[in-house]
Copies of this chain bind each other. A is one copy, B any other.
Amino acid sequence: MTQRLSTLPNGFRIVTEAMPGLESAALGVWITAGGRHEQPEQNGIAHFLEHMAFKGTGSRSALQIAEEIEDVGGYINAYTSREMTAFYARVLKADVDLAMELIADILLDPVFDSREIEVERGVILQEIGQVLDTPDDVVFDWLQEVAYPEQALGRSILGPSERVSGFSRDDLLRFVGEHYGPERMILSAAGAVDHERLVAAAERLFGGMTAKGGDTATPASFTGGELRVAKGLEQAHFAMAFETAGYRDDAIYTAQILSTALGGGMSSRLFQEVRERRGLCYTIFAQTGAYADTGLTTIYAGTSAEEIGTLAAVTMDELRRSAEDMTEAEVARARAQMKAGMLMGLESPSSRAERLARVVSIWNRIPPLSETVQRIDAVTLEDVTALARQMASGGAALTLYGPIDRAPSLEALRERLAA
C-alpha cells in the first residue's frame, strides 16, 4: 500500500500515493469551500478568490508566480466547484518542492491588490460572457437553479455579473476568514512523491494556521420545476434532473448504475434508442453527481427544433421502461463499466490526486478500491428498478434552451413517465 494519510495538529491533512515508475507528479490543495458556502450576496466570491490567488503574494508578483512554475516546464491551475476550491500543479519529479512552495504561497499570502482586483473583475466578466455563449454550459447552470431554487447549492459558481461587479477586497478577506481553515484543507499528491517529505513541508508551511471550525454549508432541499428559455440557436438543449443520493449514502451506487445503464455509454438505453435507432441527436447522456447531502441524476440531449418533442417523449419512455424491464445483464455491464473506468482513470497522477482529495474530504480516510467495488457489487437489480420507479413518479427539474416551441411541458413529461 503506497497510499498514506497524515493529519497535522491543526487539522490540515496530507494524502499521497507514490506511483512507481513515474517521473512526474500531480499535487494540490483542495479546500472544502465553494459556491454552496456563499451567502446570497457573496455569490461568485469563491470563484473570484480562486482567480485572485494567482494575482500576486507578499513575495511574488503574478508574473513571478507564472514564470517560476513554467521555467521548470510545469503548470499551475485552479478550479472552483460547489463544494470545493482546488489549487494544483503538474511538475517533473525534481520540482515537487517548488510546486509545494508556490501553492502554499498563493493560498496563504495573497495580497488582493485593489488594482489587480479591478483587472481580474474584467477577466471574470469575460468568463461569464463565454459561458453564456456555450448553451450546453448555461443549461446546466439553470438546471441546478431549478433543482435547488433560492439556495446556495442552486446558484452558479461564477455568480451573476452584478455581484461580481461589486465585490471588494474586504468581501474577499471575509470569505477567506470564514472558510479557508486548515481543517478544511487537504494536500493531495500522486506520482513521483515522497510522503514524509510532503508532510514535513506541510508542517512548515501550513502548520502555523489556526483552526477556524468545520464546514458550514446549509442543507440543500431539492425542489424541481421548469425553466424554458427560447433562443434562436441551431439546437434545442434538453436537461432534466432527478434527486438521488448524496455521496456518503450507499444509494449513490444505485444511482450511478441506473444512469450508466440509462445513458452512460454506447450500449445504454438512451444512446441506443434515441441516437442509434432514431438518429434524433448527436449528444445524449445520463450521469449522476453527488454532494454531501443530496445528489442529481441528470439526462442531457441536444437536438433540432423539429425533433425536440419526439426526443423528450422517447427519453421519458426509456426512463419509464427502465423501471419495468431493466435486466441483470445491463446492471452487470454498468458495474463493469464503473469498475474498469475507476481503474483506468487511476492510471494518471492528476486523476489519482483528485480522487484521493475527494475521498479524504468525504471519509477522512482512504477506502481501499475493494471496498468501493463491494459497494458497487452490492447493488441489486431490484434497487435499480426501484430507483427508476421513484424517479418516474417523483419530482424533477427541467430546463430547455434554444428553439423549444415544440418541447412538451414538465407536466406533460411527468404524465408520460407515469403512464
Q: Mark A102-137, 1 if CB is under 8 A from B, else 0.
A: 000000000000000011111111110110111110
CA A272 to CA B116, docked complex, whole Å: 12
Are B337 and A70 in contact, with the CB atoms below 8 A? yes
CA A191 to CA B271, docked complex, whole Å: 29
A204 at the B interface (CB under 8 A): no
Residue on B with the closest CB to A277?
A: B119
**Of residues 296 to 344 in A, which have CB atoms within 8 Å of B's CB atoms?**
302-304, 307, 332-333, 336-341, 343-344
Are A67 and B333 in contact, with the CB atoms below 8 A? yes
Question: Which residues of B lie under 8 Å from residue A279 when comparing CB positions?
Answer: 118-123, 126
**Cβ of A102 to closest chain B Cβ, rounded Å:** 12
CA A122 to CA B275, docked complex, whole Å: 9
CA A122 to CA B303, docked complex, whole Å: 10
CA A194 to CA B304, docked complex, whole Å: 46
How many copies, total?
2
Residue on B with the closest CB to A74?
A: B340
Interface locus among A21-29, A213-221, A239-247, A410-418? A21-29
- Known contacts A66-B267, A279-B120: does B24 contact A129 (CB below 8 Å)? no
A234 at the B interface (CB under 8 A): yes
CA A332 to CA B67, docked complex, whole Å: 11
A162 at the B interface (CB under 8 A): no
Interface locus among A33-41, A250-258, A280-288? A280-288
**Partner pick for A343 among B23, B118, B303, B338, CB 8 A cutoff:** B23
A155 at the B interface (CB under 8 A): no
**Cβ of A125 to closest chain B Cβ, rounded Å:** 8
CA A242 to CA B353, docked complex, whole Å: 39
Question: Which residues of B lie under 8 Å from residue A233 when comparing CB positions?
Answer: 133
Are B24 and A344 in contact, with the CB atoms below 8 A? yes
Residue on B with the closest CB to A51?
A: B282
Question: Which residues of B lie under 8 Å from residue A127 when comparing CB positions?
Answer: 282
**Cβ of A230 to closest chain B Cβ, rounded Å:** 14
**Cβ of A162 to closest chain B Cβ, rounded Å:** 15
Question: Which residues of B lie under 8 Å from residue A55 when comparing CB positions?
Answer: 276
**Of residues 71 to 109 in A, which have CB atoms within 8 Å of B's CB atoms?**
71-76, 90-92
CA A277 to CA B341, docked complex, whole Å: 42
**Partner pick for A340 among B73, B125, B129, CB 8 A cutoff:** B73
Write 19 A-B pairs (CB below 8 A) sorted by A numbering: A23-B347, A24-B347, A67-B267, A70-B337, A72-B336, A73-B337, A74-B340, A91-B340, A119-B279, A122-B280, A123-B279, A126-B280, A126-B303, A129-B302, A130-B282, A133-B136, A133-B234, A133-B302, A347-B348
Chain A contact residues, CB within 8 Å of chain B: 19-24, 54-55, 62-63, 65-67, 69-76, 90-92, 118-127, 129-130, 132-136, 191, 233-235, 265-267, 271-272, 275-283, 302-304, 307, 332-333, 336-341, 343-344, 347-349, 402
Ordered nearest first, which 9 A-B pairs have the shortest CB separation? A73-B340, A122-B279, A66-B266, A66-B267, A73-B336, A127-B282, A119-B279, A129-B234, A126-B282
